[in-house]
Amino acid sequence: MAEEAAVRAQAETVRRLKQDKADPDEIAKEVAKLLEMKAQLGADEGKPKFVLKTPKGTRDFGPKEMAIRERAFKAIISCFKRHGAEVIDTPVFELKETLTGKYGEDSKLIYDLKDQGGELLSLRYDLTVPFARYLAMNKITNIKRYHIAKVYRRDNPAMTRGRYREFYQCDFDIAGQFDPMIPDAECLKIVHEILSDLQLGDFVIKVNDRRILDGMFAVCGVPDSRFRTICSSVDKLDKVPWEEVRSEMVGEKGLSPEAADRIGEYVQLHGGLDLIERLLQDPKLSQNKLAKEGLGDMKLLFEYLTLFGITGKISFDLSLARGLDYYTGVIFEAVLLQQENERVEEPVSVGSVAGGGRYDGLVGMFDPKGRKVPCVGVSIGIERIFSILEQRLEASEEKVRTTETQVLVASAQKKLLEERLKLISELWDAGIKAEMLYKKNPKLLNQLQYCEDTGIPLVAIVGEQELKDGVIKLRIVATREEVNVRRESLVEEIRIRTSQC
């Protein structure tokens, strides 16, 4: 085997270098090469030293997946920009201590980097903590920004449902001290715009407020120390019926049946302004300071949402109880609704695709003096959206183009490589997206087939006679029509025919 001979030759090289007392760096380099060759040789002998895969819970995006991903990002980014957001980016890892104490029990899902000397680092777990660190570090008290980037969680992956260990988050946040509920309303408007734009089907955005929840628990007689655990029971109401949640509260969590029943009356309520008004008159809730504050703001929010014309898809829902560790005010979550014509045996709600809320305390955790910067934000759950778009595309049999090439530069006869190179160079310099086959003498049929396969709409065919006449034959792939175009008009003609101006 030639490889074995090469390894022996390399071993000899190393031996000679050592004998010659050569530069130690040089020897080290050659030894490294030898080891590499040996490892390679092992692989060649059918004992590959490595498995060809991506790490658990991660995936490559091929050209087709990227085309879908870019389509979704485009809709989201253009919405964020429409709302005047700036964009920032932060490193993929943070000092470990930056993430410490921000995620409660979920901290165990954080990826740490190996201690190779120097700082202890962890991969970011979300974009919100890095954002808060960025604000505190730069003493920024006022910004509207978006951030689209990958985050990392050592979670149990469920890839078909869009749950990965490496996944994108698309965050939009408004930081600053403002008049109540105006930025909060804008976040909901943004969710509404994005979900409408992506045409993911019918959806509803559930809204609640942490203060209303806490007030409700108080007036129902839940002890302060049990707010969180009872809240996490409430959080299950989108998956299991009330009776089950109730028995968990009473049985496992030791809540009195009376308190549970009182909660039950509240958390099954959802509605709009009318419900808010009713609760503001509720003899118990209206006596609770927190609840009253939350309800007052909720009313204001609905007034603003009415002006935005989006209350049709908003539901004030007392069972919504997400991520309470974080949030201090309004919380919301958008869920897609099952299409009526889809006969799938699943619950009506097929899952959350966006969520967010107000978190007025997080930035203060990074400030040495605890100075607070009120924030409200939304995070789009883009991986689930990718999954839906991919599945839909699969079903529709629509052919996705993975390039934007406008024209293939081809030739019908042999010996025209130089002419093709000259022409394609002219087209590139004029800003036309052009390709050619990397062959000296490709067959016309193969060139046309390439256009069919990749969706290139036009072929510019170079031929002996046409060159003499100063024209190029332009073929429209879809119709097989062919027209002679004067060379100096070719760029313009391609632009018009691909309507890119």
Pick out the residues of the known binding site for L-histidine.
126-128, 153, 169, 173, 322, 326-327
Q: How far is the CB of 98 from its own copies (least distance, A)?
A: 6
Instruction: Indicate which single residue of 7, 11, 59, 280 sits in contact with its own copies (rule: CB under 8 A).
Output: 59
Whose tokens are 């097929």? That residue is 350
Within 364-423, the residues that bind its own copies by CB under 8 A are 365-366, 368, 370, 402-405, 417-418, 421-422
Cα–Cα nearest to 258, from 302, 221, 307, 312: 221
Q: How many residues bind its own copies (CB under 8 A)?
A: 127
Q: Which residues, numbered 336-375, are part of the site for its own copies (CB under 8 A)? A: 365-366, 368, 370
Contacting residue, 185, 200, 219, 335, with its own copies by CB under 8 A: 185
Task: Rule CB under 8 A: choose which of 268, 425, 446, 449 binds its own copies.
Answer: 425
Q: How far is the CB of 178 from its own copies (least distance, A)?
A: 4
Stretch that binds its own copies, among 9-17, 155-163, 258-266, 458-466 (CB under 8 A): 9-17
Indicate which single residue of 243, 309, 480, 481 sits in contact with its own copies (rule: CB under 8 A).
309
Q: Which is nearer to its own copies, 85 or 373 (CB)?
A: 85
Examine residue 300 and tell whether it contacts its own copies (CB under 8 A). Answer: no
Member of 52, 344, 395, 445 binding its own copies (CB under 8 A): 52
> Beta-strand (E) ranges in 429-481?
434-435, 458-462, 471-476
By CB under 8 A, residue 469 contacts its own copies: no
DSSP 487: G
DSSP category for residue 158: B
- With beta carbons less than 8 A apart as the criterion, state whether 210 and 289 touch: no
> Of the two residues 26 and 258, which places its CB atom closer to its own copies in the complex?
26
DSSP-based three-state secondary structure for 183: helix
DSSP-derived secondary structure for 254-265:
---HHHHHHHHH
Of the candidates 238, 205, 193, 198, which has an alpha carbon nearest to the alpha carbon of residue 385?
Answer: 198
Smallest separation, CB 338 to its own copies (Å): 27
Pair of tokens at residue 187: 């976040």
Nearest-CA neighbor of 96 among 64, 125, 55, 132?
125
Contact 34, 9 (CB under 8 A): no
**Least CB distance to its own copies at residue 421 (A):** 4
Task: Pick out residues in 218-277 that bind its own copies (CB under 8 A).
Answer: 224-225, 228-229, 252-254
Site for its own copies in 426-455 (CB under 8 A): 428-429, 431-435, 438-440
State yes or no: residue 492 binds its own copies (CB under 8 A).
Answer: no
Q: Which is nearer to its own copies, 252 or 265 (CB)?
A: 252
The two structure tokens encoding residue 267: 């958390």
Task: Give the H or E element holding residue 405.
Answer: none
Rounded-to-integer distance, Cα 274 and Cα 303, Å: 12
Give least dist CB 169 to its own copies, A: 14
- For position 36 contacting its own copies by CB under 8 A, the verdict is yes
How many other C-beta atoms lie within 10 A of the C-beta of residue 84? Answer: 9
In angstroms, give the least distance from the CB of 282 to its own copies.
Answer: 27
Tell me how many degrees the CA angle 99-61-122 measures, rounded to the nearest 5. Answer: 15
Q: How far are the Cα atoms of 106, 278, 409, 434 from residue 452, in angstroms, in the given order?
A: 50, 63, 14, 15
Q: Which of residues 311-330 bind its own copies (CB under 8 A)?
A: 325
Q: How far apart are CA 234 and CA 211, in angstroms?
A: 15
- Contacts to its own copies from residues 115-154, by CB under 8 A: 115-116, 118-119, 121, 123, 133-134, 136-138, 143, 145, 150, 152, 154
Contact map string, positions 73 to 112, toward its own copies, x by CB under 8 A: --------xxxxxxxxxxxxxxx-xx-xx--xx-x---xx
Residue with smaller CB distance to its own copies, 304 or 332: 304
Nearer to its own copies by Cβ, of 397 and 438: the residue is 438
Are 8 and 39 spatial neighbours (Cβ–Cβ below 8 Å)?
no
Q: Which amino acid is at 459?
A: V
Provide the 8-state DSSP code for 422: H
CB nearer to its own copies: give 284 or 372.
Answer: 372
The residues, any chain, with a CB within 8 Å of residue 37's CB and separated by 6 or more, are 3, 6, 7, 10
At 119, the amino acid letter reads: E
By CB under 8 A, what part of segment 160-179 binds its own copies? Answer: 166, 174, 176, 178-179
Contacts of 283 (CB under 8 A, 6+ apart): none
Closest approach of Cβ 318 to its own copies, in Å?
22
